[in-house]
Amino acid sequence: MGKVWVVFKREYIERVRSKWFIIATLLGPVLMGLLIVVPNVLAARTKTSAGLTNVVIIDATGSDLGARVAKSLATSMPNAREPRVRSIKIERLADEEKRATAEVINREALGYVVLDANTMGGKEMRYAGRNATSLVDIGSLERTVRQSLLNMRLENEGIDPGRVAVLTNVRLETKTEKITDRGREGASGMASLFFGYAIALLLYMMIAIYGQSIMRGVLEEKTNRVAEVVVASVKPDILLTGKILGSGSVAVTQVLVWLAMSFLIYLVRVPILELFGAAPAMLGGAIRIPSVDPLVGVALFLFFILGFTFYAALFGAVGAMVSNQEDIQQAAMPVMLLLVSSIIFMSPILLAPSSTLAVTMSLLPFSAPLMMPLRMALIAVPWYEIIGSLVSVTVGSAIAIWLSARIYRVGLLMYGKRPSLKELGRWIRMA
């Protein structure tokens, strides 16, 4: 036990003292917050281009649809240039498009809109211009043409479009609230969804980052011949155990610091959101962190520890199998596929956390460390499913440690080409 402590202490202190750990730990929540807030703020501020009215409207419908579209665009941007409407017969459409294309090339117009029989039939409108890749501009044009066509149809039927707009302009906001065994929680259903997603993503990041860190550390010690010196005084099993415990403790330390910093940022969220000019609806007490039952918190911690142990043992074995950086990526691919497969099924499980797929994925040892915490944050999972999932991950971790220890014991001092599956089987039997 004393030697395990020595290896653990060395791994923990060495990693915690590194400048990259300090930078990632201190700036991690800040960067994640910026990645969440800034895109939403920028998206909210994204508006239609001011020059959108500088377009040519080619109206080949034989109606006043082009004039209606031009009037609607001019009304939405009163200080901008009014669109030019050219009402033509369908026979002249090709020549008129060539003329409008030349105007766009000479920067006399931003683009041109084509309204024809397909537009009158409610099928399509065509647009060509310098801003054809601007989703905001194209969306604005499409809404304008659609609304103008709808108003024209209503008027032709003797119906007042303004009255229809008043009667149909109903915008309902759905507010959800999660109810647990303790009653109404207060937090919205969407908050629970994002909370569950954040937990699963955080676990994935920690397992992937620190699991691969163990793998590369083992490879580095092996290629530098440090392992030969260490193994002379410490058994490979003890060395692997110390590495897993040390790296796992580093990951737990970083997560705890991130949680503390995230909570502090949450407390001062109002001035931070105001600094970015966020909408008033995003401020105040509208955002509330879902409550976590103490037993659920313990279960989440156990899933993290067991899941990390499962993958860390496999990554450690991969590091001992290879002798160079070129082989390590290919050798680690099966382990990464196990981990990534859990993330692939995250979206359907978010949509249906009680489905058969969700239950199955939360019971498999390689996906349970991510999927069960996700489900626990979304719904009240039956206790027997949680116990079964913990047992599954525990058994899986024990098997992974047993296999990895045998591979580690032989592979740590083996050099040359990467072993085949047959050779791996012989290593396991030899150890």
Residue 4 burial (CB count, 10 A): 18
Mean confidence (pLDDT) of the chain: 77
Pick from 332, 338, 403: nearest CA to 366: 338
Residues with Cβ within 8 Å of residue 159, at least 6 apart in sequence: none
In a 10 Å sphere around its CB, with 0-12 CB exposed, 13-18 middle and 19+ buried, how is residue 312 labelled? buried
pLDDT of 329 > 80? The answer is: no
pLDDT, mean of residues 345-366:
86
Q: Strand, coil or helix: what is 69?
A: helix
- Read off the pLDDT band of 285 (50, 70, 90): very low
Rounded-to-integer distance, Cα 397 and Cα 395, Å: 5
Beta bridge pairs of residue 55: 111
Q: CA-to-CA distance for 426 and 421, rounded, in angstroms?
A: 9
Q: What is the pLDDT of residue 28?
A: 73
pLDDT band at 137 (very low <50, low <70, confident <90, very high): confident
Q: What is the DSSP letter of 195?
A: H
Residue 193's pLDDT is 64
pLDDT at residue 283, rounded to an integer: 44
Return the HEC string of 113-174. Answer: EEECHHHHCCCCCEEEECCCCCHHHHHHHHHHHHHHHHHHHHHHCCCCHHHHHHHHCCCCCC
The secondary structure of residue 287, as a DSSP letter, is -
Does the pLDDT at position 284 exceed 50? no
Cβ neighbours of residue 156 closer than 8 Å, sequence gap 6 or more: none
pLDDT in tens, 289-326: 556 667 777 887 888 888 888 888 888 888 777 767 66
* Statement: residue 176 has pLDDT above 60: no
pTM as predicted: 0.63
pLDDT of 95 > 50? The answer is yes
Give which of 283, 339, 289 is closest to 310, Cα–Cα. Answer: 339
- pLDDT per residue over 38-81, tens digit each? 666 665 555 556 677 888 999 998 888 888 888 888 887 776 77
Contact criterion met (CB below 8 Å) for 86 and 116: no
pLDDT reported for residue 155: 84
Q: Give the pLDDT score at 105.
A: 92
pLDDT above 50 (res 394): yes
Q: What is the mean pLDDT of residues 365-384?
A: 84
Q: For 52-123, where are the E strands, in sequence order? A: 55-59, 84-87, 111-115
So what's the pLDDT on residue 216?
A: 77
5 pLDDT above the threshold of 50: yes
What is the mean pLDDT of the segment spanning 283-293? 54
Q: What is the mean pLDDT of residues 395-411?
A: 80
Domains and their CATH numbers in the chain: 2-40+185-430 (no CATH), 50-168 (3.40.50)
Quote the tokens at residue 171: 């915008």
Mean pLDDT of the region 82-95: 89
pLDDT: is 91 or 231 the higher one? 91
CB atoms within 10 A of CB 392: 20
Question: From the CB of residue 163, how many other CB atoms can be counted at a distance below 10 Å?
Answer: 10
> Which residue in this structure is represented by tokens 């501020």?
45
Assigned token pair, 314: 């496999």
The predicted structure's pLDDT at residue 99: 92
- Cα–Cα dist 107/81, whole Å: 14
Residue of 385, 397, 396, 387 whose CA lies nearest to 360: 385
pLDDT at residue 333 in the model: 84
